[in-house]
Amino acid sequence: MRSVEEHQRVVDELIAARPAATTGLAEAEHLVLADNVAATVSLPVFDNSAMDGYAVRAADIVGATAESPVTLPVAEDIPAGRTDIPTLEAGTAHRIMTGAPMPPGATAVVPVEATDGRTDVVTIREAADEGRHIRRAGEDVAAGTTVLRAGQVVTPAAVGLAAALGLHELPVIPRQRVLVISTGSELVSPGSPLQPGQIYESNSIMLAAAVRDAGADVVATPAVSDDVAQFAAVLDRYAAEADLIITSGGVSAGAYEVVKDAFGRDGDQGVDFVKVAMQPGMPQGTGRVAGTPIITLPGNPVSALVSFEVFIRPALRAAMGLPDAHRPRRSAVLTEALTSPRGKRQFRRGVFDPGAGTVTSWGPPASHHLRWFASANCLLDISEDVEQIAAGSELRIWDLR
C-alpha cells in the first residue's frame, strides 16, 4: 500500500500551475500576482486639499485668531474635479474642497470650521503653517515604485491601489479549472423524488464547494450512472476545458465500478488505481485523460471529502501560488480514548476547542457518517503506527476553520 505522503507527492506532481495571465481587477481578488506591479503615476497625482476650506497664502493670515480674525476676498471656488486650475493672488482666498487641486501660489488650507464659511469675503479665525492640510503629489506613491509584488495574494486593498494607479488589469496565476464528475446508478439529484434503492447525489455539490473554497473554479458537475459510455461522453464533453478532473465513486473492488472499468483495472489506460494506507479514502487513482490530470476519489462522501482535503486541496492551492497551501496543523489534547487501525493513517472528524486546547472525536470513523463532518471543525491526524490513544494525549489536528 502507498503511504499518504507518497500519494500526496504523486498528486502534487500531477497538478501544474497555469501560465501567468492578465485579468481584470474584479476577477483578480484572491489570486496570486505573477509579476511585480509598478506605479505608472504618482499618488496623490497632484497637490490637493486635505480639507474642505480655503486655500490661502499662510503669510496672509499670520496671527489670525478668534479675537483678531483676518478677512480675505474669495476669488475662486475650486470643487474636486475642477481641471482649469486658477492661480491664487496674494491677499485673496479660494474656497476649496477635499481632493481639489491646490491653486499655484497657495501654501496652506484653512478648514471651513475655522472660518465663517462665506463665499464672497471670508473671515478666518486661525493662522496656518506653510503646507498645512495639503496632500503632496507623490507622498503616498512615487511613479515608478514597485507597489505590489509577485507572489502576493490580491486583496481588496491591492485592487483598490491598482485602480487608484489607473490600472485595469493585473498579472496573475489563473485559477485552476476543475471538472467534478459523480458516478453511480443509484444517484438522484436533490429536489427529485427517490425510488426505492436510490439516494440523493451529494458529492458533486460538496466537492464543487470544496474546489471553490480552495480558491479554484468549477467547470461543471455532471453526474453519470455506472455506464462507461456515459462516463466517456462526459469526459469528451468537458475534459478539454479543465485543468483537473475529479471523479467520485466507481473505484472500489466490486463490480460496476465505472471509473475503473473506463480506464482499465490494470492501469494501462492512463490512470493508476492504488490503495493508500489511510482511513477513510483507501482506493485512489491518478492519471491523465487526453493530457488533463484526473484524480479518482472513492464514492463515500466522507472518504471523498477527506481525500480532497488530504490530497487535492493543498496541491490546487500550491499550483495557484497561494501561500497557505496546507490547513494549519495544531496540537490539541484529546478528550477521550480512541482506537485507530494499525498500518493506516486515520483522519477522524473532530471538534477543536481553541480556548481549552482540546479536541473531541466527532462521530464514528466509518465513511458514510457525513452528518458529523458537517458540524466538525478539524480532522484528527492519527499516525499509521498508532492503535490506541489515551485520553489526555496530545494529538495533531488539521484546523478546517
- When binding is defined by CB under 6 A, the residue of 199, 229, 290, 391 that contacts ligand AMP is 199
Q: Minimum Å distance from CB 197 to Mg ion?
A: 13
Q: Minimum Å distance from CB 282 to ligand AMP?
A: 11
Name which of residues 110 to 139 contact Mg ion (CB under 5 A): none
Q: Minimum Å distance from CB 259 to ligand AMP?
A: 8
Site size toward Mg ion (CB under 5 A) is 4
Q: Who's near 104: CB < 8 A, 6+ residues apart?
A: 85, 87, 88
The Cα angle at residue 165 between residues 164 and 167, in degrees rounded to 5: 100
Whole-number Å distance between alpha carbons of 210 and 314: 12
CB 244 within 8 A of CB 308: no
- When binding is defined by CB under 6 A, the residue of 187, 218, 234, 235 that contacts ligand AMP is 187
- When binding is defined by CB under 5 A, the residue of 184, 280, 321, 363 that contacts Mg ion is 184
Copy the grid coordinates of residue 320: 495557484
CB 335 within 8 A of CB 29: no
Residue 203 binding ligand AMP, by CB under 6 A:
yes
Name which of residues 294 to 323 contact ligand AMP (CB under 6 A): 298-301
Residue among 361, 307, 354, 362 at smallest CA distance from 328:
354
Which secondary structure element, helix H or strand E, spans residue 279, and what is its range? strand 278-279
Between 249 and 350, whose beta carbon lies closer to ligand AMP?
249
Whole-number Å distance between alpha carbons of 173 and 321: 7
Name which of residues 249 to 278 contact ligand AMP (CB under 6 A): 249-252
Name which of residues 223 to 252 contact ligand AMP (CB under 6 A): 248-252
CB 305 within 8 A of CB 210: yes
Between 48 and 248, whose beta carbon lies closer to ligand AMP?
248
Whole-number Å distance between alpha carbons of 391 and 339: 11
The span of 42-50, 193-201, 276-284, 295-303 binding Mg ion (CB under 5 A) equals: 295-303
Whole-number Å distance between alpha carbons of 93 and 90: 8
Residue 280 binding ligand AMP, by CB under 6 A:
no
The Cα angle at residue 381 between residues 274 and 210, in degrees rounded to 5: 70
Between 92 and 182, whose beta carbon lies closer to ligand AMP?
182
- When binding is defined by CB under 6 A, the residue of 3, 8, 98, 202 that contacts ligand AMP is 202
Residue number of the CB closest to ligand AMP reads 299
Residue 281 binding ligand AMP, by CB under 6 A:
no
Residue 182 binding ligand AMP, by CB under 6 A:
yes
- When binding is defined by CB under 5 A, the residue of 249, 281, 285, 365 that contacts Mg ion is 249
Q: Minimum Å distance from CB 260 to ligand AMP?
A: 10
Residue 227 in 3-state DSSP?
Answer: coil
Between 140 and 261, whose beta carbon lies closer to Mg ion?
261
- Give the CA distances from residue 261 to residues 72, 231, 278, 301, in Å, rounded to whole numbers and listed in that order: 90, 10, 24, 21
Q: Who's near 9: CB < 8 A, 6+ residues apart?
A: none
The span of 167-175, 200-208, 249-257, 391-399 binding Mg ion (CB under 5 A) equals: 249-257
Between 61 and 282, whose beta carbon lies closer to ligand AMP?
282
- Give the CA distances from residue 319 to residues 76, 117, 213, 262, in Å, rounded to whole numbers and listed in that order: 57, 59, 15, 28
Site size toward ligand AMP (CB under 6 A) is 18
Residue 321 binding Mg ion, by CB under 5 A:
no
The span of 15-23, 36-44, 100-108, 292-300 binding ligand AMP (CB under 6 A) equals: 292-300
DSSP 310: I
363 binds, among ligand AMP, Mg ion, none (CB under 5 to 8 A by kind): none
Q: Tell the residue number behind the cell numbers 462522501, with chain if given.
A: 301
CB 155 within 8 A of CB 217: no
Q: Minimum Å distance from CB 4 to Mg ion?
A: 23
Q: Who's near 88: CB < 8 A, 6+ residues apart?
A: 55, 56, 57, 75, 76, 94, 103, 104, 105, 106
Footprint of Mg ion on this chain (CB under 5 A)? 184, 249-250, 299
* Binding-site ranges for ligand AMP (CB under 6 A): 182, 184, 186-187, 199, 201-204, 248-252, 298-301
